[in-house]
Amino acid sequence: MDIMDIPAGFRFSGMASGIKKTGKLDLGLIVSDHPADCAGVFTQNKVIAAPLLLTQPRVVKGKCQAILVNSGNANACTGPAGLQVAEATLVAVAKKLQIKDELVSIASTGVIGEQLPLEPFMQGIPQLVEDLSTDHATVVAEAMMTTDAFSKIAAAREEGERNYKILGIAKGAGMIHPNMATMLGFVLTDAQISPELLKSALKQAVEKSFNSISVDGDTSTNDMVLLLANGAANSAVIEANTQEAKIFSLHLDRVLLDLAKMIVRDGEGATKLVRIRVVGAENEDLARIVARSVATSSLVKTAFFGEDANWGRIIAAVGYSGIDVDPDRIDISFNQVPVAVNGVAIGSEQEDKATKVLQLDEFVVTINLHLGEAESSYYTSDLSYEYVKINADYRT
């Protein structure tokens, strides 16, 4: 990550605190030099981890200055003891930074149901604060990883009149499915954003990105995305419903979609990144439902892994999506190769061409319903033998 991509006024640090038995990085800290306006989106799972129970009400108040994140242990389903550990770590960060504890957010990711030890935090937090630096964002991204094969960072900048930057850091490879469809995501900007726009822009960006991907159909107990805007770029406030707001939202959308696609590409055991594009729908919501039905089908995903242009599985998933469709009007293609027109196969020669498309690492499945003008997309991965192996051995 180029230091030039880092928004002004943010510092980072990470370390191996001993939470992970492997000795890998497992603790990260993000700090804004001044309290930042913030917004958040959280898991809709009814089983909620201790860090979220403390972080969510703080974020609702609209201010945040520090984010402490650990991997290796989710601190979920750990009862009063887990909540006490979470609160103690939060207070320790606030004390060391000499800020109010209401300005600290905490996040955890890893194994569910195991007690999170307090000692690594008590020993590690002073070092984290001491090591804070503008060039350690990649270290935090690595410290967040669990089964991830690679760290995930994306950036954007506006070089116009307001001249600000946006940086996104995320982790996720398994338990990826709306809502939310990421394990953890932290987005930072030095722009000055009105609270109204901060909330609406994040919600909109999440719907187009993290809530439009699926790896395995599982939604975690710990999912959260936080957006912090500290105004350090010293530009004028960007208000909602303005041209400047539209530009900011476009940048934010791109950063989150880039991160979301990285998560799908890194799906546990995945070998393919596939965009399911539904066009010709009556409205965008209906197109989204159909795309989601296809993207989450285990049979479709295993066909992708086998590089089998089995469009029958795709049209079946369209049919059980719950949306009224006309099977005699549905067209299906892989990239630009049509395999079915008006719900009927158009020959083995086309399927042979489509099979070559499926041999690619990334491709698009387009489904035309011929019912309207709206469209929507979902991103999914294939489902491989490796996914079973990874998750069978996850706790060992």
Is 182 a known active-site residue? yes
Chain-centre distance for alpha carbon 221: 14
Q: Which of 147, 182, 219, 366 is catalytic?
A: 182
Distance CA 306, CA 140 (A): 36
Of residues 325, 320, 285, the one with CA closest to residue 300: 320
Residues assigned a catalytic role: 182
